[in-house]
Amino acid sequence: MIILSATTTILWIVVIAVIALIILGGCVKIVPQAQAFVIERLGGYLATWHVGVHFKLPFFDTVARRVILKEQVVDFPPQPVITKDNVTMRIDTVVFFQITDPKLYAYGVENPIMAIENLTATTLRNIIGDLELDETLTSRETINTKMRANLDAATDPWGIKVNRVELKNIMPPAAIQDAMEKQMKAERERREAILIAEGEKKSTILIAEGKKESAILDAEAEKEAAILRAEAKKEATIREAEGQAEAILAVQKANAQGLMFLNDAAPVDAVLKLKSLEAFAKAADGKATKIIIPSEIQSIAGLASGVVEAAKGEKNQ
């Protein structure tokens, strides 16, 4: 009996020691990086544990919530919204948020993710309701900024900071999408036609400018050629005139020299009269239309008879 009692006692001691070790092991908590533990004592908030080793009282202290402090991303399903011009479309959003206060996050709202989703849907409807369809499709950045500001202000009491809000997809109705595609196609065709017309216009302008420059060059070449021809003709005329002047000058010099020789020879009156008669004979050779008869015709006739007599005397001799 004594041996059985000792064995039972040892067994109980071992069991109690194991239970004590288990309890003590449960009282030691290690908080990992980027996490926080919200601790309650007897059902009330006690403290927030951050990275490191912590100890709690058994049976009194409990870990109420483990909070992740890293930035988190939530992709919400598409939400139906109505624009200012009564067009219904569906928009899905992506929210980037981070928990800044674990206590407020644990006790601020029952389901924070659902609360953010509902708040995102209502905020999106309010913003889109003030915009028309075209503005909605082209104002993503404005909508993102307004939603981030509204959500950040609304989730601040929950210990949540909204860093970014992005519109993932904007899905108009099928009829509007078809109309938009037709409009885009027409716009592309219009731009193509404008580009083609501008190309043809530039080509025509370049061709016309080329013809203009060619005509100008031809005219300038013709002008230069005409100037050269005129200068050549002028030069030829000048040379011809100079040649005629030199010829006249040579003739006049010859005549002057002949007169000088004649003057030096001292001709008698009979010779002079004979030369005058020869000149009269040349004037009356039948080519002139008018004949001028000298007033001293008797002296010329006497001269002629004298010459005849002289000729006869030479013949008799």
Token look-up 């004949």 returns 291
- The partner residues of 28 in beta bridges, in order of sequence, read 55
Quote the pLDDT of residue 138.
85
Domain 72-172 annotated CATH 3.30.450.40: no
pLDDT digits (tens, 9 = 90+) for 18-43: 887 777 767 888 899 999 999 999 88
Q: What residues are paired with 165 via a beta bridge?
A: 95
Question: pLDDT of 192-250, one tens digit each?
Answer: 889 999 888 898 898 988 888 888 988 888 888 888 888 888 888 888 888 888 888 88
The pLDDT of residue 277 is 61
* pTM, two decimal places: 0.54
151, 148, 150: which is closest to 164 by C-alpha?
148
Note the pLDDT of residue 307.
47
Whether the CB-CB separation of 50 and 114 falls below 8 Å is answered with no
pLDDT of residue 23: 74
Regions of the chain where pLDDT drops below 50? 297, 307-308, 311, 315
Is beta strand 52-55 parallel, antiparallel or unpaired with respect to 72-75?
unpaired
Q: SS3 string of 205-263?
A: HHHHHHHHHHHHHHHHHHHHHHHHHHHHHHHHHHHHHHHHHHHHHHHHHHHHHHHHHHH
Of 310, 280, 283, 313, nearest in space to 297 by CA: 280
- The pairing of beta strand 44-49 with beta strand 72-75: unpaired
Query: What pLDDT sits at residue 40?
Result: 92
Predicted pLDDT at 219: 87
Cα separation, 60 vs 70, whole angstroms = 29
The predicted pLDDT at position 235 comes to 86
Question: Phi, psi (5° rounding) for residue 109?
Answer: -145, 150
Question: 115: which DSSP letter?
Answer: H
Lookup result for tokens 């092991």: 25
Measured from the Cβ of residue 214, the count of other Cβ atoms closer than 10 Å reads: 10
> In terms of residues, how long is the chain?
317
- DSSP state letter for 293: P
